[in-house]
Amino acid sequence: GENVEQHPSTLSVQEGDSAVIKCTYSDSASNYFPWYKQELGKGPQLIIDIRSNVGEKKDQRIAVTLNKTAKHFSLHITETQPEDSAVYFCAASQSGGSYIPTFGRGTSLIVHP
């Protein structure tokens, strides 16, 4: 089955700095890669996703890049704000079938004001 590794487990930055979270996956058949933000006591919320036919996607301060050859993808947050502090999860899945994503173990992002 799919295996998703996520790094770092904790990331501490100053407000205004950029933050980068990296994930690798093992199954070359995976073609859909969502990113979720989870605040304390809440469920994960989708913030951005990318499909394997695209190398990069951007939405305001967040962007995701995908390298299919190397089987890794990254989340980039620019101009971080204290409200960006949360746990971020990457995931990988395949279209078709039951679309069950495999999640990484999460990155706790702390943005210091």
Partner 1 sequence: GAGVSQTPSNKVTEKGKYVELRCDPISGHTALYWYRQSLGQGPEFLIYFQGTGAADDSGLPNDRFFAVRPEGSVSTLKIQRTERGDSAVYLCASSKQGKSNQPQHFGDGTRLSIL
Number of residues that bind partner 1 (CB under 8 A): 29
Tell whether residue 113 is a contact of partner 1 (CB under 8 A): no
Q: Would you call 111 exposed, middle or buried from its count of C-beta atoms within 10 A (0-12, 13-18, 19+)? A: buried
CB under 8 Å to 63, separation ≥6 — which residues?
48, 56, 57, 75, 76, 78
Listed ranges 13-21, 63-71, 78-86, 91-99: which one lies at the site for partner 1 (CB under 8 A)? 91-99
Residue 74 makes contact with partner 1 by CB under 8 A: no
Asked if 96 touches partner 1 (CB under 8 A), the answer is yes
Beta-bridge partners for 111: 13
Is the Cβ of residue 14 or residue 99 nearer to partner 1 in the bound state? Answer: 99
Residue 16 Cβ, how far from partner 1 at the closest point, in Å? 28
